[in-house]
Structures are given as C-alpha cells and as structure tokens.
C-alpha cells in the first residue's frame, strides 16, 4: 500500500485514478462476442462458457432438480442469516414506496406521477472467485417489491458446471426461478440480445469485473437499460485520532479481497494512524484465505496523509468512492460536506460489511467515480415513472391562451390549433 504525505492539490486528480484496463480494447472483445451471440445464440454462449469458465455444460438453465435440492445443502445457521438479511433489505426497500400525489398546477389542471414496474429484468451475479449470494438479495428483493413480471438471473458455473447451492437457495428463498449458468460478457450479451434459452430483458442489473462493466455499457447500444457502470469494488476510509486502526485495516482488506482490480484508499490527518493501519494490515493479511488477491489489490491502493480532516473530505468528493467510511467519533458532524459517495458508513462500528450483507441498504453501488452522477440501486431502479395530466374545461381556459402564444412563437401552428379548437368549442356554448 503506497503511503503519500501531503500531496499538493494539483496531484489529487491523478491520485484518484483507478487501475482500469483500456476501454477501447475491452469494447473490441465485447463487440465480437455480442456479434457471435447475435448470430449463434445458445451455441455461442455455451462455447464461451467452456472457454472462459472451463465448464462443460450442455444446457444453460438450472434444472428443476438442482433448484430443489439446494435447500438440503445449506446449514441452518446460514439459512437464518439469509432470512435476517432478507427481512432488513425488504424493510428498507419497502420504505421507499411512494404514494401518488395530485398537484393542481393551475385551476382545473391536475398533474401526478405513478410508478410501473419494468417487466423483464436481468440480474447478473458474480460467482467466479466467490459466491456473492448477497447480491441476489440486493437485486431480487427490490425487483419483487416493484412487481417486475420476469426476473432472469445469470451467474457463472464452476468448473464442474454447477452453481454454488448457496446461490440457488438464496434465489429460491426470494422467489427467483429462472436461473442460468452463464457469466461474464456472454451473460450480458445473452440478456441484451436474447437466445433460444435466455430471454431478452429490458434492463440489466449487477456488478462485475471490467469485462462485465464494458459489456453492460455496450448493451445500451442495443436499447437495453442498465443500473449503472458498476465495476471493481472500492472503499475510501477517512480516519482521525479517534479511529481504531485494527477496524480500519479490516475494512480495507474486506474490499481488497474482492478482486485484484479492487482499490482501497485511506485518508487521514494523523500519520500515526496511517502507520498503525498499515502495520495492522500486514498482521491481518496472514489469516486471509484470499490474501494473494488482497495483496494484488493493495499494490494499487494508497494511504494518504492530508493537512486536515476537511481536506480529506475534499479529496473524497473528488474520488467519489463507492463506499465511504468515516472512522471517527465525530463522524456525524461531517455529513453535510459529503457531496459524492455511493454509500456512507458513519462511525467506528459501521463496518462496510454491514451494508454488504444485512443492514438493509443496497450494496449495488456506483464505482470508478460514477458516484458523482449515479445513485446506488434502489426500488426506483426497477420502476418507470409515468406522468399523468388531466386538463378540464376550466383548466384549458386558464392555460390555453399562454399555450397559444408560446406555440405561435415557436412557429408550431398545429400545436396552437390543438388548443384553439377547444377554446372555440367552449366559447360557442
């Protein structure tokens, strides 16, 4: 982990860069695979599954037998943990439901907005290096609450052509039935284009590596919406003298173990804290089963000392982290100066793992600086907002003349006439 002391502000943008692959080279690969899937459908998807996942499978959809037997392989303690997390996630996302409010903008003119579910959604669940079953809850539960008619889940199989039973059990628990053994670019391509087995969807959700992110971006060229360009995971921790170095080290490692292309950042105005965190990282690394992955991620990560905590937040707003942890007893006093972050964790006991699993907030969040202009997944992500208006006779009389003047100024005669014929009819009576 690189240690940087008081870098000048003109270097902050450079220090905020993520270790990303060249998008042009990624997009070339993605477009080639998409074109192949468009032509050859299931055959192409199966071929790429053999190539990239080293899995020999003959059918893409999870069988009913595999679906049903998953429950028998899960320990009761884990089942109970999944149920607790599901309840909290459901409770938080149910709280996001909005009632329609009718607004009378002028006398006799009524406007309102209503939500309608997106009919077909695809959820992509990473599973190559770790079975991220928590993401199934994060995406499937709000999709169910929103009322999406079809939820299509894709996740990569292991080398034996199987999906981890925890993934299947979690999907079953929240009512997802259409599960396909496909990951990576080929999964996004199948969801965007449709194949004999995998339905084409209206919107694609889910995190992934840089190949998946590039595929999601290109899927938009085919008229498919996406949740956000969510790529490799990242966390930024702001620490002061009241923080706990052992806690911070654990939080940084919890993100570093996601993948070699993950990034973690520590900001502090106290060099002693930085040094103690770095030492604690070394001590904790030895116990991690995924320490090689974490070590690779730490090579692209930084511990930066700045002049003040206020400067730390200024840097954080430039970086726009996916996860922002304020490791301080005074964390709440800084909330008003946060401008860009996917999800914020307040105080020394609000570990990022809580948001990943069971606090109730959604962990599908914008990365790579997209927190400057994207929100994390929420109930709103699974619905469309349709506006309605009702203009009564009184209403058209009130706003009609203004519409006529504006339409005439824009030289749109038919627009003006649509109002004029109504006003004429009213005045004839």
Active-site residue among 322, 390, 404, 410? 322
| DSSP-derived secondary structure letter, 6 | S
Task: Return d(Cα 50, Cα 72) in angstroms, integer.
Answer: 28
Task: Return d(Cα 417, Cα 403) in angstroms, integer.
Answer: 10
Rounded to whole angstroms, what are the CA distances from 150 to 37, 193, 328, 392?
22, 16, 44, 38
List of residues 6+ apart from 16 with CB closer than 8 A:
315, 318, 319, 369
Cβ atoms of 163 and 62 closer than 8 Å: yes
Nearest Cα to Cα of residue 204 among 364, 361, 86:
364
Active site residue 415: no
Scanning 111-244, the segments in alpha helix (DSSP H) are 133-146, 165-173, 184-193, 210-219
Task: Return d(Cα 7, Cα 379) in angstroms, integer.
Answer: 40
- How many other β-carbons are positioned within 10 Å of the β-carbon of residue 244? 17
* 314 half-sphere exposure, CB direction, 13 A CA radius: 12
Task: Return d(Cα 252, Cα 361) in angstroms, integer.
Answer: 20
Three-class SS of residue 391?
strand
Active site residue 119: no
Query: Which stretch of DSSP H or E encloses residue 236?
Result: strand 234-239
Cβ atoms of 216 and 229 closer than 8 Å: yes
Q: Return the active site residues.
A: 322-323
């Amino acid at each position: 982990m690189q240690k940087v002391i008081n870098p000048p502000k003109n270097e902050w943008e450079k220090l905020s860069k993520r270790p990303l692959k060249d998008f042009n080279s990624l997009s070339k690969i993605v477009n080639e695979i998409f074109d192949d899937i468009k032509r050859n459908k299931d055959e192409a998807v199966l071929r790429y599954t053999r190539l990239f996942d080293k899995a020999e499978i003959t059918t893409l959809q999870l069988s009913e037998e595999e679906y049903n037997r998953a429950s028998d392989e899960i320990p009761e303690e884990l089942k109970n943990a999944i149920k607790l997390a599901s309840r909290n996630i459901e409770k938080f996302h149910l709280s996001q439901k909005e009632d329609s409010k009718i607004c009378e903008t002028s006398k006799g003119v009524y406007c309102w907005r209503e939500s309608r579910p997106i009919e077909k959604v695809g959820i992509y669940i990473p599973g190559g290096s770790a079975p991220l079953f928590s993401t199934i809850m994060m995406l499937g539960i709000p999709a169910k609450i929103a009322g999406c008619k079809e939820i299509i889940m894709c996740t990569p199989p292991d080398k034996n052509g199987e999906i981890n039973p925890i993934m299947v059990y979690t999907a079953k628990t929240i009512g997802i039935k259409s599960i396909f053994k496909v990951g990576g670019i080929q999964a996004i391509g199948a969801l965007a284009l449709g194949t004999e087995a995998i339905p084409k969807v209206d919107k694609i959700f889910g995190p992934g590596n840089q190949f998946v992110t590039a595929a999601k971006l290109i899927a938009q060229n085919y008229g498919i919406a996406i949740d956000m360009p969510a790529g490799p995971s990242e966390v930024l921790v702001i620490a002061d003298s009241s923080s706990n170095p052992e806690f911070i080290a654990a939080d940084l490692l919890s993100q570093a173990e996601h993948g070699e292309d993950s990034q973690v950042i520590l900001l502090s105005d106290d060099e002693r804290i930085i040094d103690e965190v770095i030492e604690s990282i070394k001590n904790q690394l030895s116990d991690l089963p995924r320490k090689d992955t974490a070590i690779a991620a730490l090579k692209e990560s930084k511990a930066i000392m700045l002049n003040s905590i206020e400067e730390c937040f200024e840097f954080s707003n430039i970086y726009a982290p996916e996860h922002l942890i304020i490791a301080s007893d005074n964390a709440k006093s800084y909330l008003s100066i946060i401008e860009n972050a996917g999800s914020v964790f307040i105080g020394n006991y609000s570990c990022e793992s809580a948001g990943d699993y069971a606090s109730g907030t959604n962990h599908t969040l914008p990365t790579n600086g997209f927190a400057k202009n994207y929100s994390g997944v929420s109930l709103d992500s699974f619905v469309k907002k349709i506006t309605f208006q009702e203009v009564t006779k009184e209403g058209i009389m009130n706003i009609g003349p203004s519409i006529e003047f504006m339409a005439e100024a824009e030289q749109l005669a038919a627009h003006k006439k649509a109002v004029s014929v109504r006003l004429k009819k009213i005045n004839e009576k």
